[in-house]
Amino acid sequence: MWNSLIKTVPAGFARKIREFSVSKMAKSRFEYVKSFEQSDTLLRNCWIVVRVDGKGFHKFCDVHGFEKPNDNRGLNLMSLAAVNVMQEFNEIVIAYGQSDEYSFVFKRDSMVYERRRDKLVSYVASLFTSAYIFNWGYIFKDTVPLKYPPVFDARAVLYPTDQNLRDYLSWRQADVHINNLYNTAFWNLVASGLTNAEAENRLRGTLSSDKNELLFSEFNINYNNEPAMFRKGTVLLKKKTAVADNKSLSLIVPLFDDMIGDKFWQTHPELLDGKLKQNNPLDIGGDIDHVLVQYQIEKHNRRTEGMKRKHESS
């Protein structure tokens, strides 16, 4: 029957049919290899946290001359890359960053990529890395050329309860305090003339109170007066935000608040309860001039101008 059907069509078309049939059969021969693929699906009704970490970042920071113990530009670039990730995923309710890491919290009921772990983790890591590289010039201008691309890995962890999620974020924020207090003391000792090894020996076995006393007595530094971003890390939230002329925009705003206590969660109850909505636009005061906010406002204005020109030309 097939041969008789072929005879009824033009020769050229018949040849194409045969080629298609052969190629389809050849393809089906090898499709069994798909059976080796494993689909690791993330358990439902759990918060998904994807954490991105820099790999070999000590060397990367040294090569690019980042300021120690903290580089405002480097931290802002990390946060700007995180903003790009949050703009891509509506399912992210909060992100938290410090040093060379960022954690993205996806809604409990999120079905992004059908909750496939490999797909989600690889996409977030890839997007974060490309955004970091793409926005390098926006933060560093022409002052620091990018000498080689950074590398970030990522992992996904599930947290079944709200308290588990809060404890995770508290753990990461406590890590900021411990590391930044040590680094602030360490690099001030090095700046005073000690070698790295001597500074390590000086701080070995010290408590937080000892480091605070050292900073104040030897360097006249009150650690509590250090920038909150250095001491507490950066929280990113999607908020309706008050801007100029009584207008509001939906922005991803940086906050430098304590997440360990209850006050933060009482102030932003919609984070854990998706049924709640923000009532009034958030007034971020002087942070309206923060580079992350201005980046989004500039992007919004460019989009608005582009739509206006398109409308006028039509």
CA dihedral angle for residue 212, residue 217, residue 218, residue 223, rounded to 10 degrees: 30
Overall size of the chain counted in residues: 314
Q: Which of 190, 217, 216 is nearest to 203 (CA)?
A: 190
Q: What average pLDDT score do residues 186-205 get?
A: 98
Residues 158, 115 contacting (CB under 8 angstroms): no
Residue 11: is its pLDDT beyond 80?
Answer: no
The encoded tokens of residue 312 equal 């006028």
Domain boundaries, the chain: 39-177+228-313
Which region among 18-22, 51-55, 189-193, 281-285 has the lowest average model confidence (pLDDT)?
A: 18-22
Could you give the CA distance from residue 39 to residue 226 in angstroms, rounded to a whole number?
A: 46
Give pTM, 2 decimals.
0.88
The encoded tokens of residue 185 equal 């003391």
Residues 67, 230 contacting (CB under 8 angstroms): no
One-letter amino acid for residue 131 of the chain: A
- Summarised one tens digit per residue, pLDDT across range 230-264 is 999 999 999 988 887 778 889 999 999 999 999 99
Could you give the CA distance from residue 21 to residue 92 in angstroms, rounded to a whole number?
A: 46
Which residue is it, tokens 């970091």? 132
> Which run of H or E residues covers position 104?
strand 101-106
**Phi/psi of residue 256, nearest 5 degrees:** -125, 55
Could you give the CA distance from residue 204 to residue 99 in angstroms, rounded to a whole number?
A: 22
The b/e string for 16-31 (b: 16+ C-beta within 10 A; e otherwise) is: eeeeeeeeeeeeeeee
- Summarised one tens digit per residue, pLDDT across range 22-67 is 566 667 888 888 888 888 999 999 999 999 999 999 999 999 999 9
Q: Selecting from 3.10.129.10, 3.30.2000.10, 3.30.70.3000, 3.40.50.620, what CATH number does the domain 39-177+228-313 have? A: 3.30.70.3000
Q: Tell me which of 69 and 274 has the higher pLDDT.
A: 69
Q: Which of 252, 55, 21 is nearest to 154 (CA)?
A: 55
DSSP 37: -
**Could you tell me the pLDDT band of residue 2, with boundaries at 50, 70 and 90?**
very low
Residue 191: is its pLDDT beyond 80?
Answer: yes
The encoded tokens of residue 288 equal 């309206």
Strands 47-54 and 152-159: antiparallel
One-letter amino acid for residue 118 of the chain: D
- Summarised one tens digit per residue, pLDDT across range 89-115 is 999 999 999 999 999 999 999 999 999
Helices of type H across the chain: 2-7, 11-30, 57-63, 72-88, 117-134, 136-140, 162-191, 196-203, 208-219, 228-232, 263-267, 291-313
